[in-house]
Amino acid sequence: MKGSVYSILVELLIFTACGIFLSRKSIISSDASKVLSDFLLKLVLPFSLIASSQQRFKGSALYASLVSLLLGFIYYLLSFLLCFLILPLFIKDRESLPISFDLVLFANVGFLGFSVIPLLFGNTATLYTIFHNFVFQLLFFTIGMEKAEGSEKSVREILSPQKLLTNKIIMISAASMILYCLPFRFPAMITDSISAIGSMMTPLSLIIVGLQIGSMDPSSLIKEKGVIPLTLIRMLLLPALFFIVLILLPFDVAVKRVAFILYCMPSASLSAVIAEKYNRRPALACSVVALSTLIFFALLPLDLVACDRFFS
């Protein structure tokens, strides 16, 4: 592990606390928060992805990345089946089911993943995260969004080549994978500039998370119907199931560690954005995202202890 668990946790909490403070003191408005999110997604994240592709090529790292891609699909397949079986038991309102699926199924492997994983496991782990994030982007911006919208399209229509090729993040992720495999690297002055912009990923993403938490009424976190079961499924049940699967699989422990921490992440903040856009119980979505984020920080030391105990 790259650094002390508690020093890393303090660093993450300081960034998040800055966002909460800025929100509570009305220094940054909700509109400005949306601008920051766009800035992060459209500039900082792409540069962060490209920067990670400029590492020295290693055949073992490429193999580990492909294993990460496989683990991503395994996670979503198992999680989708589990959600299909148990979510209707807790969410009786059919109109709320689509966004509930998104909140439980999709972890924050983008915003938090790209900020937390390098701090915990180093830059090589960022490469593994790209492949996990590729699966997230592939499924969230197709199946996740279409279902939240209430679309009746089939999975084949949703995952059509035209749909995939128009998603910029998917294309940039694919380009990063290709760049890593190519036998050349950008000149140092270009790489340094790209890395400098990409390095904003950690503080900026956590400040945005803090802004989202700070804009909420704390009492609403548990009052909204469905928040507790959805949060517990997202933060406890799915990670526990995936943890057991990882123990049984014969893959490299470094790959397992990254995969486990990524899928211990809270609900993706993009789910709250989608809920707001399509009016699919936005209060529920924001509450689950905020509460699961707080629980993630509380459980992170225990998750890392589990990694050291079983994946070492």
Q: What is the mean pLDDT of each run of 10 residues along the chain (312 residues)?
A: 68 87 84 78 83 80 90 94 90 82 90 83 84 86 72 58 70 82 87 89 81 76 83 95 95 94 90 76 84 90 91 85
Q: For residues 83 and 22, what is the distance between their CA atoms, to the nearest angstrom?
A: 36
Q: Do 286 and 236 touch, CB atoms closer than 8 A?
A: no
Can you give the residue ranges of every domain in the chain? Answer: 5-305
Residue that has been written with the tokens 């490469």 in this structure? 127
Q: For residues 261 and 1, what is the distance between their CA atoms, to the nearest angstrom?
A: 12
Q: How far is CA 284 from the centre of its chain?
A: 19
Residue that has been written with the tokens 């225990």 in this structure? 302
The pLDDT of residue 159 is 61
Q: For residues 310 and 312, what is the distance between their CA atoms, to the nearest angstrom?
A: 6
The pLDDT of residue 112 is 82
CATH topology for the 5-305 domain: Na+/H+ antiporter like fold (1.20.1530)
Instruction: Give the CA count within 13 Å in the CB-facing half-sphere of 197.
Output: 18
The pLDDT of residue 252 is 92
The type of residue at 183 is P
The pLDDT of residue 68 is 93
The pLDDT of residue 242 is 95
Torsion of CA 14, 11, 270, 38, to 10 degrees: 80
Residue that has been written with the tokens 């996990």 in this structure? 132
